[in-house]
Amino acid sequence: MKAVSRTPMRVLKTPRVHQTTEKHRRETSEKAKDPVNVFCRVRPLQSDGDLTSLRVKSSTTIALNPHDQLLQHHKQNGAQREIQYIFKHVFQSDATQQDVFASVAQPLVENLVRGRNSLLFTYGVTGSGKTYTMTGNLRHRGIMPRCLDVLFRTISDFQAKKFVFKPDKLNGFEILSEEDALLERQHEMNQRFAGSGRFAYRNKDSDPEIASQASVEPMPLLGLDEDNMYSVFVTYVEIYNNSVYDLLEDSGIQKTLQSKIIREDADHHMFVHGVTEVEVKTVEDALEVFQMGQKKKRMGHTVLNAESSRSHSVFNIRLVQAPTDNQGENVVQDRQKITVSQLSLVDLAGSERSSRTKNTGVRLREAGNINNSLMTLRTCLEYLRENQQAAINGFAHKKIPYRDSKITHMFKNYFDGEGQVSMIVCINPRMEDYDENMQVMKFAEMTQEVQIARATPIKTDLGLTPGRRKANKLFKIAVKNLNELGMSEAKDLKVDVGLVYSLGPDFPFCQVDSPEAEVKIQELMHYLEQRIEKRKRLRANLDIKCDNFRQMLMNLDRDNLQLSTELASLKAVYKQERERSFALEKKVRIHESSIDVLNNTLTKRDRQIEELTFKLNEKENLLTQTEHEKEKQKKKFSSKMAVESDKNKRELEIKLRQQREKLHERMRIKDEKLRLVSNIIRSEDLPSMPRSQSSEDLLNEKDRGPFTARTESSVPATRTDIYATPRHGVAAANNRHRRSRSAGDKWLEHRAANPVPLGTIMQPFLKNRKSVTKLTDMKTLTEHGANKYCLVSQEADTDGDVETKLYKGNVIPTCGGGAQVVFNDIECLKQKSPVHSPTRKRPSNGTMSALGVASALPSTVTSITVQDVASRCNLGIEGHSNKKTKI
C-alpha cells in the first residue's frame, strides 16, 4: 500500500505587531558576523608614457605614492612617505576576468544556491573599469554573465517549468497549479507571435554588447538540494538623480520611465514596488533581458570617459526554490515552503570632480547627485562601523541615514540584516587620479571594518525521503527498460520513497521566564501535537509496509523456484550456444587473417594505381604540351607562309606590271615606227627614206642608259641628197650610234622658245620630260621633281650648218635647300644643207643623208666649265664658280 503524504508541520509566526525593530536588531546582533570583503583591481595604463601613483607590493597590499611636485611643495614639512592599504586581495593589471570572478563572485553564487542573500558592488572614480569588471564586453565576459552561466549549469537538471512560480508584486512568490502554469505559457506564446508585450524584443538579430558563450565551460557548484525545484528571476533598475527607474518596464507609447518607490516586505527586506521580474531559463534569455534594460540606461560623454554611467545600476538575480512531493515530480503546493535568495550586482556610477570633467548644465546636476549618493553611502557605513564599536563599549547608537539616498535605502537590509557583502574597488593608477584614489582607498579601508550578520536560511523539513527525486527517476528508467524487454510484470511495480521514519527535529528552545513565554508554550504544544500525529501516521504506515513486505517475500519465494527451473534449462542452452560461439570465433579469426591479407594486397594495388595514374598524368601533360607546341609552330608557320605568299604575290604583280609596261612600250614604239613609215610611204614628195637605225636599236632603246659619248651627225644640206638613197633598199645606219638610256628618269628640258627643226626621224627622245624656255629661279628646277637636266643649244657653225648640242646632267639637291646640276654627257647634232644629186648616190665623204643621223662618235671635248653652260642657260649655280666638272 502506498504511503499517504500529509501537509508538513509549519511553526506559527509571531504577529507583525510584536516584531519590533529593536527585537529584530537584537536577534541580528546575536548571530555570527563577517566583515565586508573588499577587493582591489588595478586598471592597466592606457599608454607607456603615463606616470603611475601606486605600487602593488603583494597580493594584499598597495602602496600609494605622492606626486614629485607634491614632494617639492611639502619640503618644508619634511619628506612624505608612501601610504599602504591592505585588502582581502589585490588584482594587478594583468589579472583576467576569470580570476576576478573565481575569487569574488563564485562564493556569492554558492550562497545564492544555498538560500543566502549576497551583495556585490563596484566602487571607484570615473574611467577606472567598474562597468568592464561587472559586465565585460564581447571578448571578455564580466562578473554578471559568469554568475548566470555558473548558476544555470548548476540547476540545469532541476529547473521547474515556466510560470510554476509567479511573483506576487510584494517581493514574494506564489505557486501555480500545472493547469494555471500551462495557461500562462500559452498566453506568453501568443504575445510572442503577435509581436507585442514585454517579450516582443527577443529575436536572434539583436546586437549583444557582452559575450553570451564562455570560452571554458565552468563546473557546476556543489551543495545543491536535488529534491527541490528551482526558477531564476531577474530585475534591472537604475537610480538616476536619486530616483528609481525600472529598466525592464514595458512603457508602451510613453517614452519616459516612471519613478518607483522603495518599500519593506514582511521579512524586513527592501524592494522596489511594482518592479518587473522576468523569469529566465537560460543564460541567453537573461542576457537578452539585460540588453533590453541596457538600451534604456542613461549614459553620457565626459572629458574623462567617452561612455560614462550617469546612474547607479542594480541587476538582481533571484533564485526561487521549493521542495517536491513524495514522488519528486511536482512542487509542493505550499507557498510557506518557498525559499527566495537574491544576488544583487551593483555598478555604482563613478565619482568625479567638476574641475576635471568641466561639466555644465545637466551633466553637472548628474555629477552632483552621484557624488551625494556616494557620500551618503560613506556616511552610512561610517555610522554603522561606529555603532558596532559603540555596542562593544556600551555607548549610544547613532541613527544611520539610510533614507537620505535611494542606493542606501534599497540595501538597508544587507547592512542591518543578514547576508554577505563584497566590494571591488577599481583604481586607475595614473598620476592625475592621485587625489581621487586616496579618497577611494580611505573609504575602502573604513568599509572593511563593518560587520555583516551571517545568513542562516531555514531548512524546510517535510519528513520526506532525501534523494526521492533521483530515486523516482531511476525507477522510471528501470520500468521503461523492462517494458522494452517485454516483461508485463513491470507495469505493476511500485516504489515508495515518501516518508522518512523520523519524528522531526529536536524540541525548540523555550524559556519560561521570558516575556514571550505564553507564545513559546503555544508553539511547543502545537509542535507536540504534530509530533504525536506524525507518530501515529508512521505506526500505521509501518504496519502497511510490513504486510506488503511479507506478501512480497512470499511472491519472491515462488518466483525463485520457478526461476531456478528456468535457470537449469537456460544453462544447458547456454553451454550449446557457447560451443557454437567458440566455433564461430575460430572461423572469424581465420576470415580476419584472410581479410588482412586482402587488405594488404588492396593497399599495394592502390599504391600501384596511384603511381600509374601519376605517370599517366605526366604523359598526358607532356602530350598536351607537345600538342600546344605543334599548334604554336603551325600557327607561326602559317603566318610566315601567309607573309611569304603575300610578298611573292606582290613581287609577281610588280614583275608582271613591269613586263606589261615593257610590252606596251614596245608596241608603242612599233606603232610609232609604222606610223612614220606609213607617213613616208604616203608622202608624194619623198620617194624613199633611208633607215638610220636598226629595229633592234629601237626595241632596246628603253633598256639603254644615258649617252656617255659625244654624238656628231652630218645631215646633207641640200634637198637632193634625200632622194639619193634608193626607195627600195636597206636604210643606212651607223652601228656606233646609241640612243640615250635615260628614258626611265624624269627630265627637265631647257630649250629655246622657237627651235630650228632638225628634220630627222630618229631624233633624240626624252621620256617623262618637262620642257621650259626660261630658267631664272631655283624653284623652276626643283618644283617639278626632275632628277635629270637637259640643255638644248642650237648655233650655226662656220660653214652655216645648224649645230644642235644637248648638255645632260644630274640634278642634285644641296644642303642649303637649293640644287646643283652635275653635267655628265654632251650630244652634238649637225644638219647640213641638202646637195642636189641626180644620181641619188650616197655621199662618199662620210656625210649622211638628210634623213640620217650622224654616227655616235667618241667625244672630243674632254671638259667643259660650268660657267660656259650657265652662260647659255642662265642657270644659277651655288658653290661651283671656278670648278670644272669632268664629262
* Number of continuous H segments (helices) and E segments (strands) in the chain: 18, 29
Q: What is the DSSP string of 413-435?
A: HHHHSBSEEEEEEEE--BGGGHH
Residue 460 is labelled as binding a ligand: no
* Cell 584614489 found at: 437
Residue 126 is labelled as binding a ligand: yes
CA 425/CA 435 separation, integer angstroms = 15
What is the CA 819 to chain-centroid distance, rounded?
78
* Cell 544583487 found at: 344
Q: Which amino acid, 498?
A: G
Under 8 Å between Cβ of 854 and 830: yes
Under 8 Å between Cβ of 92 and 56: yes
Residue 350 is labelled as binding a ligand: no
Pairing of strands 262-264, 270-272: antiparallel
Residue 640 is labelled as binding a ligand: no
CA 676/CA 517 separation, integer angstroms = 176
Residue 328 is labelled as binding a ligand: no
Three-class SS state of 229? strand
CA 493/CA 118 separation, integer angstroms = 46
**Which residue, 412, 242, 380, is CA-closest to 311?**
242
Q: Which amino acid, 191?
A: Q
Three-class SS state of 280? strand
* φ/ψ bin of 538: left (φ > 0), alpha (ψ from -120 to 50), beta (otherwise): alpha
What is the CA 181 to chain-centroid distance, rounded?
47
**Which residue, 272, 279, 293, is CA-closest to 167?**
279
Under 8 Å between Cβ of 421 and 457: no
CA 410/CA 402 separation, integer angstroms = 8
**Which residue, 781, 779, 784, 773, is CA-closest to 809?**
781
Helix (H) or strand (E) holding 680: helix 517-682
* φ/ψ bin of 252: left (φ > 0), alpha (ψ from -120 to 50), beta (otherwise): left
CA 262/CA 408 separation, integer angstroms = 11
CA distances from 350 to 127, 140, 438 (A): 7, 21, 14
CA 303/CA 300 separation, integer angstroms = 10
**Which residue, 24, 14, 36, 18, is CA-closest to 417?**
24
Angle between helices 362-393 and 434-447 (to 10 degrees): 30
* Residue 425 bridge partners (DSSP): 40, 123
**Cell matching residue 152:** 544555470
Q: In 10 A of CB 658, how many CB atoms?
A: 10
CA 353/CA 420 separation, integer angstroms = 31
**Cell matching residue 493:** 511495480
CA distances from 579 to 172, 568, 570, 585, 588 (A): 70, 17, 14, 10, 14
* Residue 741 bridge partners (DSSP): none
Residue 130 is labelled as binding a ligand: yes
Q: Vertex 394, ends 388 and 398: CA angle to 5°? A: 50
Residue 846 is labelled as binding a ligand: no
What is the CA 405 to chain-centroid distance, rounded?
49
Residue 223 is labelled as binding a ligand: no
Under 8 Å between Cβ of 8 and 461: yes
CA distances from 281 to 149, 169, 205, 246, 284 (A): 11, 20, 19, 21, 8
Three-class SS state of 354? helix
**Which residue, 711, 715, 723, 648, is CA-closest to 685?**
723
As annotated, the binding site for ATP includes 124-131
As annotated, the binding site includes 124-131
